Structure 1
């Protein structure tokens, strides 16, 4: 009998190709990934995740946020990344914030999970 460890909960298996790049534990890592991608790569990720976001949220709402299994934590991180990428895809139409020059900000506190 073989055991397969999934990166995400089984019903979200088709999103596993995005885990390596986008299931990042910190906002800064997610933002750095956004800046390293082309607009087309961001749009592909967003278009894959966004239609499943509501279902993912419902799934995660059924779990204890303080005791998420690893696969559910990665799913939550994908949602965080989707939110960060949504601005680039839907508003800026590019990875960077337009007309911001070298401006940046540091996050002082990360979300609990």
Structure 2
């Protein structure tokens, strides 16, 4: 878990700091290891704040995000990872798709 929290306006999202994951692989693993109820709660909490999240993050050049904003960005990326499980699949795992365990990311880090 990150050392400190989120920007002041987003402190209500701090219960979700465990979703501040730097790689797509980490986010995918967490999605698959979570229950549908856990994913739904995360989805509901983040989706309700995304207009404000985008407005806040838009103040900074992408490669110059302060640490707290970086964590907020990672939460947004995790929402993008979770959304299909809620909106399409109805379960944490991808249905009718390629076995995710066989995918090897071409890059490491934020992706």
Shorter-chain TM band: 0.7 to 0.9
Q: Does 1:53 align with 2:60?
A: no
Tell me the TM-score normalised to structure 2 length: 0.88
Question: What corresponds to 2:107 in structure 1?
Answer: 109
Query: Equivalent residue of 2:56, what SS?
Result: helix
Q: Does 1:63 align with 2:60?
A: yes
**Over aligned residue pairs, what C-alpha RMSD do you find?**
1.9
> How many aligned residue pairs are there?
107
**Structure 2: gaps (5+ residues):** none
Tell me the TM-score normalised to structure 1 length: 0.86
Aligned structure 1 segments of 4 or more residues deviating by more than 4 angstroms: 110-113
CA distance in 2, matches of 1:87, 1:110: 22
**Structure 1: gaps (5+ residues):** none
Give 1:112 deviation, angstroms: 5.8
Question: What corresponds to 2:31 in structure 1?
Answer: 34
1:50-104 CA distance string (max 9 Å, x none): 011121011101012211111100000000000110000110000001144x712
Query: Equivalent residue of 2:48, what SS?
Result: helix
